[in-house]
Amino acid sequence: MTILNETHDPSRRSFVETANVAGCDFPIQNLPFGVFSTKDGGPRGGVAIGDMIVDMKAANAAGLFSAVAQDAAKAVAKPTLNELMAMKPAKLSALRRELSDLLRSDGLHRAEATKVLVPMRNAELMMPATIGGFTDFFTSIDHVRRATSVLRPDAPLPPAFKNLPMAYNGRASSIVASGGPVIRPHGQQGRKDGTSSFAATRMLDYELEVGIYVGEGNELGRPVPLHEARDRIFGLCLLNDWSARDIQRFESFPLGPFLGKCFATTVSPWIVTAEALAPFRVPARARDAGDPPLHDYLSDSTDQSEGGFDIALTASLQTAAMRAKGDAPAPISKTNLAALYWSCAQMVTHHASNGCNLQPGDLLGTGTLSGPTDESRACMLELTTGGKQPLVLPNGETRTWLEDGDEVVFHGRCNRDGAVPFGFGECRGLIAPAVTI
Amino acid sequence: MTILNETHDPSRRSFVETANVAGCDFPIQNLPFGVFSTKDGGPRGGVAIGDMIVDMKAANAAGLFSAVAQDAAKAVAKPTLNELMAMKPAKLSALRRELSDLLRSDGLHRAEATKVLVPMRNAELMMPATIGGFTDFFTSIDHVRRATSVLRPDAPLPPAFKNLPMAYNGRASSIVASGGPVIRPHGQQGRKDGTSSFAATRMLDYELEVGIYVGEGNELGRPVPLHEARDRIFGLCLLNDWSARDIQRFESFPLGPFLGKCFATTVSPWIVTAEALAPFRVPARARDAGDPPLHDYLSDSTDQSEGGFDIALTASLQTAAMRAKGDAPAPISKTNLAALYWSCAQMVTHHASNGCNLQPGDLLGTGTLSGPTDESRACMLELTTGGKQPLVLPNGETRTWLEDGDEVVFHGRCNRDGAVPFGFGECRGLIAPAVTI
């Protein structure tokens, strides 16, 4: 059962007035963590509030936290959040309460708090953690059905799909924060005669996903029971699993995706914590009639009743021509994290079920979050049926795949009756031309 | 063209007499790096010589290195070798010359050098680097042919195999040094009716591989030309890519191996440097008649003439019954790194060909190093044809897959006319029973 506390109180407002404006991603009920740098200071952690960042290094120096929250507050001030992520939920919760108290409109220390705010526009947002392991799941049944039928017309739903949350190891080194480089990759593309060409990809795609940061880790050889898995989730971000479909198609049998993916992965820099997301929990997706029985290790009643998250997600595309004319990015995918066939906790438990040690700061991608409707197709592969049916943009331009100069922007919003809506900030990436090699 | 220098001189001997004994893995011509700890000191780097370790922290404190070698010498003294690995070959070479000079029988500073030696039997050998990315290749054509036919009788050689060095991202967190835990993993095993069981694996296997540590890295978006790739290889180790075949078989279509592999990977703790291996370079394996043409980015004459390594590799098995009786491990696989279809440099260049950033300390596994002969089958899957033809051990025991209490030990030896032979030390792992979950 989800516990809510005063930090979720919808009536609470912040003295940072931009946090109270309808549509703001960072009201006082959110308080996501990130890492930033400024002209006058290197990477350190912060908390987003309205259009400002609480500089946690400065906040610590100013003595704004009590003994109860100090360990966590100090961990946020570091250049990566890994140490914070390793902490037990009670410590994180103590910090959240003090942050909320510090930033509320009727807080006692408003003057001192004001001094440690940095305008977000003056900050560079960076990777929030050192990611030891990046694992990408494949847990939307609608994506799997559509993508499988496009890439391999003869292939059925993968046999394991309904038995376990499928995944593969991704590449951590090429994960960049929103706005980081996305360079069109070279790679081999198969020909019918068994040979291949080596060229810049012609089938560049985005994949709209959510990233799950692992909190407390588990020792090698010690699985994580499902009832503990929820507390191992530190928080969520937006994740664009850029894909070069021609490279992916040629290389990936039987070892799975490799160079078709690992040229770049973009994440939103703010991590929305599990505690902030508590009001947006929903039942996990019901299994279909006739599905194979759920294994005990992947089943418990809490996960079934509130293992999902209601998070609306959009991908928008802005071409170079649109940018030149000042046209806003056009929404091309509208979906929801609740579409997942497997819950985030099930992913954690399955990943550790063989004894694999997850570590604080590990990142799990959900896989492309497509839903059943046409508008919820969450990558070009689905939207254009593998490049066969061009997508028509509002200005009349068409796209089968992404072109140089295209920028893809993701947003995520939590919005439920009785709660203050909030968001994830942006996850954006602009396609740069291939490098000549 | 491989450059040899006085550190490769076969007549050079060490004042550490155990280094001069025939069959020793660590004569003065080897000088591999590793990380160790002792009762009276935490993790720090060292160099193996005979049955001793040069404690590089102590050696630096004693002022045994000149200004030319000092940067590298200090980097070895750290608790991980990543900083050393990032250095240019010239710096590494300068250190190697001074180490060789320091340890030779007629060296000037024998008394001082003796004081910084630690007996290997008193040291715990540890992971030598923080591995950011682990990538496992699939580059022995004999392994691929046999393994493919066992796991999927209807599958041809993967279409990309002869066009590119195939690989998948592995899991870095569960890599352990020789002797580290290998616990029989649980996982899902498919049934014919589309359901699955969840149980401890019944098809536990080893895979005899060599690991390649990446030295200097490349920036995201900047591929590594083949002529530079050789200098990005810091050194080699032995690598056991433990595999649970039933888990692997069920989960791996279409995303490739995941939990069937990432419960444990064992590496030998000593890294034999690229410079030490120079005398054992051989031409890369010739391509077969009718193979598709080699892409330009994967081809240069130096790689063809000396891109291979002649390293003899063995896997031996000691069961609990053998251990109880004092029987030595029985050799079950005898193969050679020269069996590779793709060279180590080709693996590096292909990996970075999409702009993926490799980083110092990244580990690339070659894939199972099976050769064409029966004795060169380098995993149980091949040796027992997927469990159908039991392996008979010298004491009459049989094995289709590994059992609890079995210990698998790898050795590697370099041995060519005109060079002093040397080895890699051990890579061993003892199978512990499954944990009840």
- A153-157, A200-204, B62-66, B399-403: least confident range: A153-157
B100 and A CB contact within 8 Å = no
Q: How far is CA B212 from the centre of its chain?
A: 6
| Side chain identity at residue B273, one-letter code | T
Burial classification of residue A42, based on how many CB atoms lie within 10 Å of its CB (0-12 exposed, 13-18 middle, 19 or more buried): exposed
Taking 80 as the threshold, does the pLDDT of residue A3 lie above it?
no
pLDDT per residue as tens digits for the range A213-240: 999 999 999 999 999 999 999 999 999 9
| Side chain identity at residue A272, one-letter code | V
Scanning B169-240, the segments in alpha helix (DSSP H) are 226-229
pLDDT (average), residues B177-186: 98
Q: A362, B173: Cβ pair inside 8 Å? A: yes
Contacts of A413 (CB under 8 A, 6+ apart): A25, A311, A312, A421, A422, A423, A424
3-state secondary structure string across chain A: CCCCCHHHCCCCCECCHHHHCCCCCCCCCCCCEEEEEECCEEEEEEEEECCEEEEHHHHHHCCCCCHHHHHHHHHHCCCCCHHHHCCCHHHHHHHHHHHHHHHECCCCCHHHHHHCEEEHHHCEEECCCCCCCEEEECCCHHHHHHHHHHHCCCCCCCCCCCCCCCEEECCCCCEEECCCCEECCEEEEECCCCCEEEEECCCEECEEEEEEEECCCCCCCCCCCHHHHHHHEEEEEEEECCEEHHHHHHHCCCCCCCCCCCCCEEECCCEEECCCCHHHEECCCCCCCCCCCCCHHHCCHHHHHHCEECEEEEEEEECHHHHHHCCCCEEEEEEEHHHCCCCHHHHHHHHHCCCCCCCCCCEEECCCCCCCCHHHCCEHHHHCCCCCCCEECCCCCEECCCCCCCEEEEEEEECCCCCCCEECCCEEEEEECCCCC
Task: Catalogue the active-site residues of A.
Answer: 143
Q: How far apart are CA B378 and CA B339, in angstroms?
A: 11
> Min CA distance, B91 vs chain A (Å)?
25
pLDDT score for B153: 74
A357 and B CB contact within 8 Å = yes
pLDDT (average), residues B122-140: 98
Residue A193's closest chain B neighbor by CA?
B292
Residue A148's pLDDT band (cuts 50, 70, 90): confident
Catalytic annotation, pick one of B8, B143, B186, B350: B143
pLDDT score for A258: 98
Q: How far apart are CA B255 and CA A303, in angstroms?
A: 26
pLDDT score for B339: 86
Token pair recorded at residue B390: 């039991």
Q: A160, B353: Cβ pair inside 8 Å? A: no
Q: How far apart are CA B345 and CA B227, in angstroms?
A: 8
Taking 60 as the threshold, does the pLDDT of residue A1 lie above it?
no
Q: How far apart are CA A253 and CA A275, in angstroms?
A: 40
Contacts of A26 (CB under 8 A, 6+ apart): A19, A32, A48, A49, A50, A51, A270, A422, A423, A425
Q: How far apart are CA B328 and CA B316, in angstroms?
A: 9
Tell me whether strands B427-432 and B407-414 are parallel, antiparallel or unpaired: antiparallel
Contacts of A134 (CB under 8 A, 6+ apart): A169, A170, A171, A172, A175, A265, A362, A363, A364, A365
The DSSP bridge partners found for residue A391 are: A399
pLDDT per residue as tens digits for the range A274-302: 999 999 999 999 898 999 999 999 999 99
> Min CA distance, A201 vs chain B (Å)?
9
Q: Which of A249, A321, A379, A165 is nearest to B158 (CA)?
A: A249
Q: How far is CA B132 from the centre of its chain?
A: 16
Taking 50 as the threshold, does the pLDDT of residue B1 lie above it?
no
Taking 90 as the threshold, does the pLDDT of residue B154 lie above it?
no
Backbone φ, ψ for residue A150 (5° rounding): -80, -45
Please, are residues A354 and A130 in contact by the beta-carbon 8 Å criterion?
Answer: no
pLDDT (average), residues B390-414: 98
pLDDT (average), residues B94-103: 98
Q: Which of B252, B263, B168, B140 is nearest to B206 (CA)?
A: B263
pLDDT score for A2: 57
3-state secondary structure of B398: strand
Our CA dihedral for B41, B45, B49, B51, rounded to 10 degrees, sits at 40
Cβ neighbours of A220 in B, within 8 Å: 173-174, 176, 181, 183, 264
Token pair recorded at residue B416: 């060519």
The DSSP bridge partners found for residue B318 are: B407
Cβ neighbours of A356 in B, within 8 Å: 171, 173-174, 259, 262-263
Residue B150's pLDDT band (cuts 50, 70, 90): confident
3-state secondary structure of B172: coil
Please, are residues B49 and B28 in contact by the beta-carbon 8 Å criterion?
Answer: yes
Count of Cβ atoms closer than 10 Å to residue A302 Cβ = 15
> Min CA distance, B17 vs chain A (Å)?
39
Q: B251, A435: Cβ pair inside 8 Å? A: no
The DSSP bridge partners found for residue B288 are: none
Best of A166, A169, A219 to disrupt the B interface (most B CBs within 10 Å) is A169
Q: How far apart are CA A332 and CA A375, in angstroms?
A: 7
Best of B245, B258, B262, B298 to disrupt the A interface (most A CBs within 10 Å) is B258
pLDDT per residue as tens digits for the range B337-369: 998 999 999 999 999 999 999 999 999 999 999
Cβ neighbours of B356 in A, within 8 Å: 171, 173-174, 259, 262-263
Q: Which of B171, B181, B264 sits opposite A169 (nearest CB)?
A: B171
Token pair recorded at residue B397: 């025991």
Please name each of the domains of chain B with its CATH number: 13-126 (2.30.30.230), 134-432 (3.90.850.10)
pLDDT (average), residues A74-102: 98
Taking 70 as the threshold, does the pLDDT of residue A86 lie above it?
yes
Q: A254, B252: Cβ pair inside 8 Å? A: yes
Q: How far apart are CA B11 and CA B13, in angstroms?
A: 6
Q: How far apart are CA B216 and CA B232, in angstroms?
A: 5
3-state secondary structure of B302: helix
Q: Which of B169, B293, B359 sits opposite A169 (nearest CB)?
A: B169
Give the helix/strand (H/E) hosting B317. Answer: strand B311-318
Q: How far apart are CA B417 and CA B419, in angstroms?
A: 6
Please, are residues B185 and B436 in contact by the beta-carbon 8 Å criterion?
Answer: no
Best of B169, B243, B349 to disrupt the A interface (most A CBs within 10 Å) is B169
Q: A255, B167: Cβ pair inside 8 Å? A: yes
DSSP letter (8 states) at residue B379: B
Cβ neighbours of A251 in B, within 8 Å: 160, 164, 166
Cβ neighbours of B256 in A, within 8 Å: 168, 252, 254-257
Q: How far apart are CA B63 and CA B113, in angstroms?
A: 10
3-state secondary structure of B263: coil
Half-sphere exposure of A369 (CA within 13 A, CB side): 30
Please, are residues B244 and B187 in contact by the beta-carbon 8 Å criterion?
Answer: yes
pLDDT per residue as tens digits for the range B161-171: 999 999 999 99
pLDDT (average), residues A89-114: 97
Tell me whether strands A124-126 and A33-38 are parallel, antiparallel or unpaired: antiparallel
Taking 90 as the threshold, does the pLDDT of residue A151 lie above it?
no
B292 and A CB contact within 8 Å = yes
Count of Cβ atoms closer than 10 Å to residue B411 Cβ = 20
Helix A89-103 vs helix A67-76: crossing angle, to nearest 10: 90
pLDDT score for B149: 85
A368 and B CB contact within 8 Å = no
Q: How far apart are CA A331 and CA A381, in angstroms?
A: 16
> Min CA distance, A53 vs chain B (Å)?
29
3-state secondary structure of B142: helix
pLDDT score for A274: 98
**Residue B143 is a catalytic residue:** yes
B11 and A CB contact within 8 Å = no
> Min CA distance, A220 vs chain B (Å)?
7
Q: B168, A169: Cβ pair inside 8 Å? A: yes
Q: A258, B167: Cβ pair inside 8 Å? A: yes
Cβ neighbours of B221 in A, within 8 Å: 181, 183, 263, 432, 435
Q: How are strands ordered across the β-sheet holding A41-49?
A: A117-119, A52-55, A41-49, A33-38, A124-126
Q: Which of A38, A152, A32 is nearest to A96 (CA)?
A: A32
Cβ neighbours of A221 in B, within 8 Å: 181, 183, 263, 432, 435
pLDDT (average), residues A84-90: 97
Q: How far apart are CA B134 and CA A172, in angstroms?
A: 10
B18 and A CB contact within 8 Å = no
pLDDT above 90 as % of chain A:
94
> Min CA distance, A166 vs chain B (Å)?
7
| Side chain identity at residue B71, one-letter code | D
Using only C-alpha atoms, chain A has a radius of gyration, in whole angstroms, of 21
Q: Which of residues 121-180 of A touch B (CB under 8 A)?
A: 132-133, 138, 148, 152, 155, 158-160, 163-164, 166-174, 176
Please, are residues A364 and A170 in contact by the beta-carbon 8 Å criterion?
Answer: no
Contacts of A216 (CB under 8 A, 6+ apart): A85, A86, A87, A88, A231, A232, A360
Average pLDDT taken over every residue of chain A: 96
Total H helices, total E strands in chain B: 12, 27
Average pLDDT taken over every residue of chain B: 96
Q: A354, B168: Cβ pair inside 8 Å? A: no
pLDDT (average), residues A324-343: 97
Q: A254, B174: Cβ pair inside 8 Å? A: no
CB pairs under 8 A between A and B: 226
A431 and B CB contact within 8 Å = no
pLDDT score for B427: 98
3-state secondary structure of B382: helix
Taking 60 as the threshold, does the pLDDT of residue A256 lie above it?
yes
Q: A221, B435: Cβ pair inside 8 Å? A: yes
3-state secondary structure of B339: helix
Q: How far apart are CA A419 and CA A260, in angstroms?
A: 40
pLDDT score for B437: 67
Q: A173, B358: Cβ pair inside 8 Å? A: yes
Residue A247's closest chain B neighbor by CA?
B354
Best of A154, A196, A255, A297 to disrupt the B interface (most B CBs within 10 Å) is A255
Residue-wise DSSP of B68-104: HHHHHHHHHTSSSSHHHHTS-HHHHHHHHHHHHHHHB
Residue A170's closest chain B neighbor by CA?
B169
Taking 80 as the threshold, does the pLDDT of residue A152 lie above it?
no
Find tokens 């390293």 and name the residue. Answer: B311
